[in-house]
């Protein structure tokens, strides 16, 4: 893939940090040119793009958009398409995660969590569908093991991620046979960034690990390699969601 016209193009949302950055790094290392989407993490996004372009000139760019706003999603799609003329792989990774206990949820929380986790990915998929069909590409959606069982005190987030899982199935039907659509359901990969003390985090982690068959946290790299498998190797799979959770879930039931 020496010529830019021969390289496949990845657009990944929420790619400046954490799992998104790991996925972007793996795809770039394996020859993809990459569009890094960010909302607020501009400094990290720019640093990642500079790193990629130092490795292979003009192989990455970053674009800002708030995925809750459909107009910004459409502008993101247009800018991404203009960069190289098309998109081969769309990974809907961006997500907001915070609690909202029943009885305290307001409309703004609902709109924010459903918008960032679900609406943005849907409208971005819709906008990029013609290019993905033309290039016989694929979509990969990041959901969550709590899409199946729900996470206590996070009802809206759980609803949003369950909807992403259904979006994967629905878009697989809508875009077949030219575009494959699959999902990844991570378990305990990276510990949430919150205000817990070190002791509280340690205790919470031990409680989670007790319910994981493999008795360890997963890694962002393991999510990235699953994304690569779905994009480049799972050519006869669509409408599927792969759990990457170390055995924390059995069937449709969450162990904790």
pLDDT at 62: 97
Rounded CA-CA distance 89/31 in Å is 13
In the chain, where the domains are located: 8-254
Tell me: the pLDDT tens digits for 66-112? 999 999 999 999 999 999 999 999 999 998 887 888 888 889 998 99
The topology under which CATH files domain 8-254 is Rossmann fold (3.40.50)
- Region 48-56: mean pLDDT is 98
Across 129-136, average pLDDT: 98
Q: Please write the tens of the pLDDT for every residue from 168-194.
A: 999 999 999 999 999 999 988 876 666
Q: pTM for the whole thing?
A: 0.91
Confidence of residue 3 (pLDDT cuts 50, 70, 90): low
Closest CA to 144 of 126, 117, 109, 171: 117
Q: How many helices (H) and strands (E) does the chain have?
A: 9, 9
List b or e across 76-106, with b for residues whose CB sees 16 or more CB atoms inside 10 angstroms: bbebbbebbebbbbbbbbbbbbeebeeeeee
The residues annotated as belonging to the active site are 157
Asked if the model's pLDDT at residue 29 lies above 60, the reply is: yes
pLDDT band at 198 (very low <50, low <70, confident <90, very high): low
């Amino acid at each position: 893939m020496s010529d830019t016209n021969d390289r496949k193009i990845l657009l990944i949302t929420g790619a400046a940090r954490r799992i998104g950055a790991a996925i972007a790094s793996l795809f770039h290392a394996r020859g993809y040119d990459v569009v890094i989407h960010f909302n607020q993490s501009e400094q990290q996004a720019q640093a990642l793009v500079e790193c990629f372009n130092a490795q292979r000139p003009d192989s990455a760019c970053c674009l800002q958009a708030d995925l809750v706003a459909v107009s910004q999603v459409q502008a993101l799609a247009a800018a991404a398409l203009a960069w190289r003329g098309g998109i081969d792989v769309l990974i809907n990774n961006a997500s907001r995660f915070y609690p909202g206990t029943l009885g305290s949820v307001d409309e703004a929380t609902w709109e924010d969590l459903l918008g960032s986790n679900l609406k943005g990915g849907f409208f971005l998929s819709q906008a990029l569908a013609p290019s993905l069909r033309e290039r016989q590409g694929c979509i990969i959606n990041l959901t969550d093991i709590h899409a199946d069982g729900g996470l206590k005190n996070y009802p809206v987030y759980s609803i949003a991620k369950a909807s992403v899982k259904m979006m994967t199935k629905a878009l697989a039907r809508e875009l077949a046979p030219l575009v494959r659509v699959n999902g990844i359901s991570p378990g305990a990969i990276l510990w949430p960034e919150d205000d817990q003390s070190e002791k509280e985090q340690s205790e919470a982690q031990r409680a989670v690990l007790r319910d994981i068959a493999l008795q360890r946290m997963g890694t962002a790299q393991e999510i990235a390699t699953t994304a690569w498998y779905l994009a480049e190797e799972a050519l006869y799979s669509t409408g599927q969601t792969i759990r990457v959770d170390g055995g924390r879930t059995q069937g449709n039931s969450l162990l904790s």
